[in-house]
Structure 1
Amino acid sequence: MSTAGTGVSGAVAQPVSAMLTGRLSALMFMQFFVWGAWNVTLGLVMQTVGIGSLIGNAFSVGPIASIAGSFLLGMAAARYLSPRMLMVILHLIGGVILFFLPSLVTPEHGDTFVWLLLGYMILYMPTVGLANTIALKSLDDRVDRFPFVRAFGTLGWIAAGLIIGWAGLSASPQIFQVAAVVSIVLGLYSFTLPKVAPDTPPEGGLIKQILCVDAFGLMRQRSFLVFILCATLISIPLAMYYAYASAYVGSVGIQNVGGTLAIGQMSELLFMFSMPWLYRRFGVKPLLLVGMIAWALRYALFAIGDGGSSLWAIYSGVALHGVCYDFFFVAGAIYTGTIASPKGVNAQAQGMLTLFTYGVGMLLGSQIGALLYAQLPASPSIADWHGMWWYPAIAAALIAILFQFTFRVDNKTGAPA
């Protein structure tokens, strides 16, 4: 039987596979460019126009949308429309909303801006999962290429930050218009994406999957329960970085805020490729613990940095993002897979992890950060910022200590000890 075009003959199938990889990489690049174009420096924009008191609320909409959007669209609507058609609809509508947002970034319309941003994020957040679904189903048995494809998402985020910084838009509401253009381009591009079938409803019904009933059962294992608890807690100080880092970096006199914060994503990209090897080499607990300690160290560096002789501390804190994020969240996702896969509930467990971290944890972090920021004067000094950063630094250190003394697994396999 001829193997031409089946993937068995590398000479014929390889060019097709390379083209598919390129198409999916472009998808990931634009998907995260849209988010990175406005998310990185939004806090600085809001502080600049005089609505800094609403930063906490603006950064709470993402966690809320992660919960509501994933349930209402990512799980339900995906059974009635193909993933690529959902991508078309959500990104085109989202792009129109993004075009309108800059006119609302004013003291008079600040509350309306936050509500409309929530509406936009409810549309955007499901597209992250949909993009992953399209890529994974399209790659089929070549899922080993997914890390390479997904890396272009991080490159898109980096490119967005560099372009925003280079164009001098870090403190301008026009960041949303840059995102709008790419969102509409992505919506149109999605017409050309591979057509993959909608998900098949799982056994037990949609409600059972949405509520992650089987995944919650995994927390009967003490180690996994401790991990979920610490993952939720560490997401609280994480939210403060996303919400206030840009405002802080701008306050110390750094002009290219977007480009500076993109250093963190470059660091993330570096460690992302090495994470599978590090996980096999050291096991889960050392990686998770190093990730937590890195969060404490990052905030401590922010608490001593300034625009003068200690500027190095700020750049170092930003550059630690790869360790902070990959050593905890990427390693945590791998660990969750090792616990959930034998039970056949990997997708549910990953969804539950996202719910607790990007949902519950970051929502709490955004609101707690808003309370701390409210204690600062209208134009915070470097000393004011230093006092604020010590809170998440101490919190992350305490969470690391809690994790060290309560988490018990086989370090090499990740299985409960």
Structure 2
Amino acid sequence: MSTSIRFKLSFMMFLEFFIWGAWFVTLGTYLIQNLNAEPLQISNVFSTQSLGAIIAPFIIGMIADRYFNAERILGILHLIGAVLMFQMYNATDIAVFYPYVLVYMILYMPTLALVNSVSFRQLTNPEKQFSSIRVWGTIGWIVAGLTISFLKWDSPEGAAEGALKNTFLMTSIASLLLGLFSFILPKTPPVKISADEKPSFASIIGLDAIKLLKDRNFLLFFIASILICIPLAFYYSNANPFLVEIGLADATGKMAIGQVSEAVFLLLLPVLFVRFGFKNTILIGMLAWVVRYLLFAYGDAGSGTWMLILGIALHGICYDFFFVSGQIYTDSKAGAKYKSAAQGLITLATYGVGQLIGFWVAGFIGDKYQDMRTTDVSGFWQQVWIVPAGIALVVMILFWLFFKNEKIESKTV
């Protein structure tokens, strides 16, 4: 792979995840402090990510894979995204904001698959080369968070003055840049297939792999994947507002520690996966969710700051040990015929159904304890974090009891 192509792919990944991290991390805080949104309204906004994840396979499977170059669709989606972000920047209330964020997430979520498609088509040895390209996405997310905290947009004073509004303008500019840059990316045409090889509607959205659910272990893993995404949704929608409201300085920048942790444990995972085995690796990931939320529930911005930082740093174990290990497990169970369909099915279950339920539950819990927020903000957040800790604990115990340990053989490890 030439230096020029490596640079283009790396810069593409950097911008792709810079765009996501530049507004999504602080979205909850913005909705509360700038648009005066209620908990259930906030959950509806965050649910647009899940709706986008559910719709994404249709866009990728029915359009990108069959008719147009992936890099061109990527460019068009980000150019439209730049316009939508600018409209979100100008929105003055939640009713105006919601339609723009809904359309934006429906268009953005497919780009996560498109950047992978563009990358994989250029790599001669994806197993060894992709991680060095993908890591620039994590760096992009980290830079976005550090930029927000460096400019003090997420400080109590900055947030109160409406400075978080600038995150949407920054994202709009980055989306415009990636949209234009996409047209000079390496050409990635759709794979030509004969008429009798055209995929069915079921295969496009991953339903071909549903027969894997006949396997008891895979069914248990599938259900656990949906359930563990409920606690994950609490983190996405509540972590930044929580840290800002209890007074943690440079909250968004400190949250980038989670992405550093994710990158480190991603590199360590192949070794740990082999050492602990699949079941134990998954259980460690679930336990990390329980510990993280208990740290959030009882930590504070004073003497308990270390608890908050440790909770953020556990993100690598929380995410990699469950989700990446789950991708490896799914790959090993699917076999050659259903590899793509199986991954699509798990993605639909987790980022789609699981998180959609999770955002609704998070909104319900926030609304239930909303009266405490003005009189006892620490007590309010303690109640909010205890719930996902309990859910993760129950899922972990059930998985430990009913999932039978098995040896996983996969070329991915």
TM-score between both structures, scaled by the size of structure 1: 0.91
- Alignment identity in percent? 39
Residue 46 of structure 1 and its aligned partner are, at CA, apart by 1.2
User: In the alignment, what sits opposite 2:377?
Assistant: 381
The CA deviation string for residues 53-101 of structure 1, in whole angstroms up to 9 with x for no partner, is 3211111000001111331x21112122110110110001101110110
Distance 2:147 2:366 in 1: 28
Conserved? CA contact 1:283–1:413, under 8 Å: no
Conserved? CA contact 1:134–1:194, under 8 Å: yes
Distance 1:270 1:143 in 2: 17
Partner AA of 1:309 in structure 2: S
Distance 1:60 1:97 in 2: 17
1:391 paired residue among 387, 392, 406? 387
User: In the alignment, what sits opposite 1:76?
Assistant: 62
User: In the alignment, what sits opposite 1:156?
Assistant: 140
Conserved? CA contact 2:262–2:315, under 8 Å: yes
**Are 1:56 and 2:43 an aligned pair?**
yes
1:350 paired residue among 314, 321, 343? 343
Distance 2:199 2:30 in 1: 44
Distance 2:126 2:381 in 1: 47
Conserved? CA contact 1:282–1:412, under 8 Å: no
Conserved? CA contact 2:332–2:408, under 8 Å: no
The CA deviation string for residues 279-299 of structure 1, in whole angstroms up to 9 with x for no partner, is 222221111110001001100
Conserved? CA contact 1:34–1:179, under 8 Å: yes
Residue 158 of structure 1 and its aligned partner are, at CA, apart by 0.7
Conserved? CA contact 1:99–1:177, under 8 Å: yes
Conserved? CA contact 1:43–1:52, under 8 Å: no
Distance 2:72 2:408 in 1: 42
The CA deviation string for residues 142-187 of structure 1, in whole angstroms up to 9 with x for no partner, is 4420011111111111111111111112231211111111111001
Distance 1:204 1:406 in 2: 39
Conserved? CA contact 1:285–1:411, under 8 Å: no
**Are 1:190 and 2:169 an aligned pair?**
no
Segments of 5+ residues of structure 1 without an aligned counterpart are 1-15
Residue 200 of structure 1 and its aligned partner are, at CA, apart by 4.4
The CA deviation string for residues 233-257 of structure 1, in whole angstroms up to 9 with x for no partner, is 0001100100000000001101312
Given the superposition, is the C-alpha separation of residues 306 and 34 from structure 1 closer, same or farther in structure 2, using an over 3 Å criterion? same
2:401 paired residue among 402, 405, 408? 405
2:78 paired residue among 73, 91, 115? 91
**Are 1:32 and 2:28 an aligned pair?**
no
User: In the alignment, what sits opposite 2:166?
Assistant: 174
Residue 204 of structure 1 and its aligned partner are, at CA, apart by 6.1
SS at match of 1:139: coil
Partner AA of 2:137 in structure 1: G
Given the superposition, is the C-alpha separation of residues 400 and 142 from structure 1 closer, same or farther in structure 2, using an over 3 Å criterion? closer
Moved more, 94-103 or 194-203: 194-203
Distance 1:70 1:142 in 2: 22
Distance 2:125 2:384 in 1: 48
Residue 48 of structure 1 and its aligned partner are, at CA, apart by 1.2
TM-score between both structures, scaled by the size of structure 2: 0.92
Instruction: Report the aligned-residue RMSD.
Output: 1.6
Distance 2:42 2:82 in 1: 22
Partner AA of 2:112 in structure 1: V
Residue 116 of structure 1 and its aligned partner are, at CA, apart by 1.2
1:249 paired residue among 225, 230, 243? 243
The CA deviation string for residues 328-374 of structure 1, in whole angstroms up to 9 with x for no partner, is 0011111111111x242111111111100000000000011001111
The CA deviation string for residues 283-335 of structure 1, in whole angstroms up to 9 with x for no partner, is 21111110001001100111101122212111111111000000000111111
Partner AA of 1:24 in structure 2: L
SS at match of 1:292: helix
**Are 1:369 and 2:354 an aligned pair?**
no
Query: What pairs up with 1:5-404 in 2 under 5 angstroms?
Result: 16-49=1-34, 50-53=36-39, 54-71=41-58, 73-78=59-64, 79-104=66-91, 106=92, 109-170=93-154, 171=159, 172-200=164-192, 203=197, 205-340=199-334, 342-375=335-368, 376-377=370-371, 379=374, 381-404=377-400
Segments of 5+ residues of structure 2 without an aligned counterpart are none
Distance 2:74 2:205 in 1: 24
Number of positions where the alignment pairs a residue of Structure 1 with one of Structure 2: 394
Given the superposition, is the C-alpha separation of residues 366 and 300 from structure 1 closer, same or farther in structure 2, using an over 3 Å criterion? same
Distance 2:205 2:308 in 1: 41
